[in-house]
Structure 1
């Protein structure tokens, strides 16, 4: 009996169909992968070019800003005595990389630091003499024919251009900021003009022979003219263009306008960077099962990419300082702990800040303050550039540094150099404010973290810094054990705070607020004083400590309830209360139950909510704008008046008022520091006018003289507060003031 043979055709057909299906899926997968890679390369090139454009703007703006500053200082002298002005420019040139500096007057006379003549017939000079800043293309220098670039800014007198200040920079110095390599040095960038000619070539060999990019593209076979036309259209219309073409190898390129002259930046990447990846995938997909594995791997890759992006964002938030773009304080603590644990030797820990830095924001402006902090950070980073040296901004204008200790004498020499650099750092173009540092140093033992946390040493360096605060003769101090008494004092405050609150040792003082128009008593601010063992503890001793350890939350509730009781007592005694403002710590604003808790306390006290005002400091607005906005909105919805205290001393200033709506602001007394000078008077007038236009009541603190009262009244200020009217007084004394101020029948 024979066995029936099954036909092979169906099996062969199934194999062929499966193979065709696999091939189709494979080819589709390869095409999708190729498209995705091309898209990613386009994104990468676009971001690379954008970074290059940002770098170009930063470099050119830095040069122009410096020239503007110099022009403002030398214009009058240049018109009176050009030769002395040239001597000034020579001394300034020593600090710069310029080939020469000079200026052109409106009558065509040219003065340079090296005596070389300059042709003044070009459009660059005419435009600058008409009041426009200019940056030249690469030109040949008259004396030696070497390539140079010019930065030119107009010189103004009485808002009219009277000349132009220029700086001649060697082209190599100019170009090194504008060209770059990327992606493992495979990619390169260069700068071109509207006609395609190269302004600043790349250092890469592949681009060394390119003098006109459009001509180079047009010379390519097949699609060369089409590519050249696309690029020319993008240059003419100021648009971006993404290219894929073949020259000595496949290339991807991205063209983006710079926004300076008619320049555009071109970044080029070899296509084999993508093709190598594609080829490795094709080799691994020889079987149908590999498709499934690749799908799983692609899924895992996607998850990892999402996690990586999330980790990168988290890293940025935690480990990068948002103001300086340098190392954050959290990152500093982590790296410092690693180095102190792993690297042998002695170390020095520094704490640095600037005396009265808030005056930079108050007298000048917020932008100048922030720019000064960035300049300080860069200066410190350049100063502490040796191996294993760390620098970070701790908070505000406080910076910390960790340095390997080679010897105290060598460290003192470096500190002298640092102080000299800071003292010579200009803040504004008029040089109206001088930075004066205060530095504290803690020399660490050989094994510093064996039984002591790093924060303890930071506290010691901070204590040392505070001992020289305001002492312009001694700018730095080393911590010694005699300063330990301060730490013990702070610890004793912390040990006594709970029992002191239970014994009601904290007394509420009231500082009156008066109408600017006629001096009437219209309100008060509640301040806390501590009678500890019969001696009054200065608020500056215990309030910061309570803020640090969180006890300020209990203190704020205590003050709030005491004020509510006092208002009710005034009513029971037949007096008409005035609104009283109470300070609220930032810690409350992060408590989800804060609003409801305080409203319940008001309900229990049966007080009119308009009589209790809450003050929050301006610096809180920077920490979490959305949260603060929500909390303030909820409080105002309950009828509570919200005031911004210390307005003008932080880094948020006016910008946050459009986001967070409040009822009033209290201008810090530092606003009065330069009263009588045009700049300060203009600042006060514009600030008060702006706040009034936003329907906010304006209070000025620290008023001490009749002249200040009259001036602030003339500016339209609403209320005044300060020693001119009254010092902070106990409840009984303030009650007498309130009784005297009651309207008579």
Structure 2
């Protein structure tokens, strides 16, 4: 330890030997420091700065570092032989180099592990994105990529794409259990995978599968189809005897107008949807299906603006008392007047039913009818009973009866003048809900009619369980000449049963005098059909209806 003036407080004996002779000489007078280093050290010590210098002593080079203590102006001089320091530094450097090497190796190992893990994650994500977990096969996204790659690499080769599913697969799950249902799907995928002529396949979702293969005719595809299902039943074993019905849509890809996998999938979808709609097992794509698909989209998207613009018009077809041939009641029908053309109900009602939009149109018809009836009432006309058709989808709406009451009451129309009309099929499919609905309708004063009686599966059972007010006999009973004698017997007995049950009978679609004579003979109450009048716009109902006052 040295003062600013160079006085040594604590000498280093190892450097000088005897401290009383050498320290005064070396440090007190700074004889170890020469030239500019001496002035620099003096200046640093006067200003309280630290520093270092190198000096020679007895032929040995030393390294010296000085640092202020921070009290009383004292400094600590630390000296180390240069060769010792160099050896120490070399050792530290070696150690640091070795440590750095170890660290580098560890770093590289970590990078490799991270890359390996990332590769695994990427592979897992690829499987999630492109493979079906249940069946361990490609999904629809991967299928489109595979198809596109194939048609790009095989230009001009005929390719067939097909989509199929199992009719009422949910019922299979319900009867046999979901585990068996999953086994069915897995086995279908396995059977497709074993067919060598199939170039690619996928499970899209639920029980829907897509397949593409090189095939030019339906007959060739039928053979492959048979081979696949034979393999399926073989794998399922003799214990599986559930009768499965497969619904299939086919599209023969034409390289003149389609070289795009996504477009081919859409066209195959159209064919498959048509097969389901028609209830057929197989349907092949053609341009007519495209027009139908486009029309469905137009109907769906144009419903709201058409309602707002008043394009849906109310028509009425009169119903007559058979004995007096006098106007008794009517049925409300709807027509779509679009761009000056009249669109028949069969061209849009089934589409709205399928898309779940029919309920909006039903209530629109009811409101327009009630508004018209209100205007007739204000004109002093005597109102008649009018039936309005409603979709089966209303059975799912707990507020249906309340909405009926609200609309009728808004226009001051007595409830007993409004008949809620549903088809027999809709009633049969929802018999439990129908019983409750009929009771509620009666509680609120409405009447209930069963339309298309005789076209369902359990007509007599419905007559027994449902206290409907009106039974409408379907026109098919009168125009199927092959079974006309049996039809006459059935109609006669239905009329008799309905009368005993207190129901009113209405015969639909009557056009000929011979039918009028027969219906009068068996005691039918009312007749509706071209024999008396065609449907007419509600505005001209009273002018265009026979016997209307």
* SS in structure 1 of the partner of residue 533 of structure 2: coil
Match of 1:443 among 248, 251, 256: 251
Matched, 1:580 2:380: no
Give the 3 Å change call, closer, same or farther, for CA 667–444 of structure 1 in structure 2: same
Matched, 1:657 2:509: no
CA drift at 1:465: 8.9
- 2:271 is matched with 460
Give the 3 Å change call, closer, same or farther, for CA 347–620 of structure 1 in structure 2: farther
Give the 3 Å change call, closer, same or farther, for CA 691–503 of structure 1 in structure 2: same
Give the 3 Å change call, closer, same or farther, for CA 721–739 of structure 1 in structure 2: closer
- 1:320 is matched with 172
Matched, 1:635 2:441: yes
State the Cα deviation string for residues 130-159 of structure 1 (Å, max 9, x = none). xxxxxxxxxxxxxxxxxxxxxxxxxxxxxx
Cα distance in 2, alignment partners of residues 571 and 646 from structure 1: 31
CA drift at 1:642: 0.2
User: Would you say the 8 A contact 1:346–1:444 is kept in 2?
Assistant: no
- 2:531 is matched with 724
Cα distance in 2, alignment partners of residues 453 and 661 from structure 1: 51
Cα distance in 2, alignment partners of residues 654 and 708 from structure 1: 23
State the Cα deviation string for residues 570-601 of structure 1 (Å, max 9, x = none). 11112112111000111111111111121121
State the Cα deviation string for residues 304-344 of structure 1 (Å, max 9, x = none). xxxxxxxxxxxx9943399xx8999xx79x94998499848
User: Would you say the 8 A contact 2:536–2:544 is kept in 1?
Assistant: no
User: Would you say the 8 A contact 2:327–2:547 is kept in 1?
Assistant: no
Matched, 1:530 2:341: no
* SS in structure 2 of the partner of residue 320 of structure 1: helix
Matched, 1:411 2:216: no
Cα distance in 1, alignment partners of residues 471 and 399 from structure 2: 25
Match of 1:590 among 396, 401, 411: 396
* SS in structure 1 of the partner of residue 502 of structure 2: coil
User: Would you say the 8 A contact 1:647–1:653 is kept in 2?
Assistant: yes
User: Would you say the 8 A contact 1:586–1:616 is kept in 2?
Assistant: yes
CA drift at 1:735: 2.1
- 1:691 is matched with 498
CA drift at 1:413: 8.6
CA drift at 1:410: 6.1
- 2:488 is matched with 681
* SS in structure 1 of the partner of residue 336 of structure 2: strand
Matched, 1:667 2:519: no
- 1:703 is matched with 510
Match of 1:521 among 283, 302, 327: 327
Cα distance in 2, alignment partners of residues 511 and 661 from structure 1: 25
Superposition map of 1:72-91 within 5 A: none
Cα distance in 1, alignment partners of residues 378 and 187 from structure 2: 60
User: Would you say the 8 A contact 1:644–1:662 is kept in 2?
Assistant: yes
Superposition map of 1:494-573 within 5 A: 494-573=300-379
CA drift at 1:738: 5.6
Give the 3 Å change call, closer, same or farther, for CA 340–495 of structure 1 in structure 2: farther
User: Would you say the 8 A contact 2:318–2:545 is kept in 1?
Assistant: no
Cα distance in 2, alignment partners of residues 519 and 739 from structure 1: 9
State the Cα deviation string for residues 385-433 of structure 1 (Å, max 9, x = none). xxx9xxx9xxxxxxx9999968454636959x99xxxxxxxxxxxxxxx
Cα distance in 2, alignment partners of residues 595 and 717 from structure 1: 30
Q: Which runs of 5+ in 2 are unaligned?
A: 1-167, 227-246, 254-260
Higher-Rg structure is: 2
User: Would you say the 8 A contact 2:401–2:440 is kept in 1?
Assistant: yes
* SS in structure 1 of the partner of residue 361 of structure 2: helix
* SS in structure 1 of the partner of residue 387 of structure 2: strand
Cα distance in 1, alignment partners of residues 514 and 200 from structure 2: 53
Superposition map of 1:287-298 within 5 A: none
Over the residues paired in the alignment, what is the CA RMSD in angstroms? 4.3
User: Would you say the 8 A contact 1:508–1:562 is kept in 2?
Assistant: yes
Match of 2:294 among 462, 479, 488: 488
Match of 1:604 among 410, 419, 430: 410
CA drift at 1:457: 4.0
State the Cα deviation string for residues 199-250 of structure 1 (Å, max 9, x = none). xxxxxxxxxxxxxxxxxxxxxxxxxxxxxxxxxxxxxxxxxxxxxxxxxxxx
Cα distance in 1, alignment partners of residues 190 and 303 from structure 2: 35
CA drift at 1:634: 0.3
* SS in structure 2 of the partner of residue 725 of structure 1: coil
User: Would you say the 8 A contact 1:348–1:443 is kept in 2?
Assistant: no
TM-score (norm 2): 0.55
Cα distance in 2, alignment partners of residues 602 and 468 from structure 1: 39
Give the 3 Å change call, closer, same or farther, for CA 568–581 of structure 1 in structure 2: same
